Amino acid sequence: MNEIGEKLKLTREEIGISKEEVCEDLKIDMNQLDNLEEGNMQAFPDILSLKYLIRDYAKYLGLDKDDLVDEFNEFLFDYTSKISLEDIKQAKKELKKDSLDKIQSPYTVERKNKVYIPQITIYILVFVAILLLAYFIYTMVTDGKEDNNEVIAMSYEVQK
């Protein structure tokens, strides 16, 4: 990052543009310009805003903005690839520990012992329930008819 900042600073000085002019034209404050030319990446709120500032400043100075953005991307790759796997695992553990320490609402807590019923099982149960209901209705209707037939038969015999 220092090389990018130095390149931008040297180009600005060669052209003869003052820092105040740059700040006014790019609508940035003096601290941002100083941090950019010094290569102080931590002074910026996020990487994306820093990348856009590098692109805009390079374009303003007449440099190839794509080359400088590519150089910045390579710097970021080298910078982030130096983080060891152990550091990443430790950060994950700390993040998980922090999330466990938080108070959680019973409505938003994810339950681990959920019982999942396959959809086909539900369809089978509904089908069986419909069959039982249909059988119950059928037996009610047919039982009533048999009783009526018996009563008619009995009354017929009595009349004879």
Mean pLDDT per block of 10 residues along the chain (160 residues) reads: 84 87 87 85 81 87 85 77 74 73 62 71 93 92 64 55
Token look-up 């609508």 returns 27
**Residue 127 CB partners (closer than 8 Å, separation 6+):** none
Tell me what pLDDT residue 133 has: 95
Distance of alpha carbon 136 from the chain centroid: 52
Tell me what pLDDT residue 43 has: 80
The Cα 32–Cα 40 span in angstroms is 9
Tell me what pLDDT residue 40 has: 81
The Cα 155–Cα 8 span in angstroms is 116
Asked whether residue 77 falls in the same domain as residue 121, the answer is no
The total domain count for the chain is 2
The Cα 157–Cα 149 span in angstroms is 12
Which domain range does residue 45 map to? 2-81
Asked whether residue 11 falls in the same domain as residue 77, the answer is yes
**CATH number for the domain harbouring residue 54:** 1.10.260.40
Is 23 domain-assigned? yes
Token look-up 């102080």 returns 40
The last residue of one of the domains, among 81, 104, 139, is 81
Query: Would you say the pTM of this structure is higher than 0.95?
Result: no
Which token pair is 77?
């790759």
Is 109 domain-assigned? no
The Cα 36–Cα 44 span in angstroms is 9
Hey, CA dihedral for 22, 27, 29, 34, is it positive or negative?
negative
Asked whether residue 11 falls in the same domain as residue 58, the answer is yes
Is 137 domain-assigned? yes
Token look-up 């922090």 returns 98
Asked whether residue 122 falls in the same domain as residue 67, the answer is no
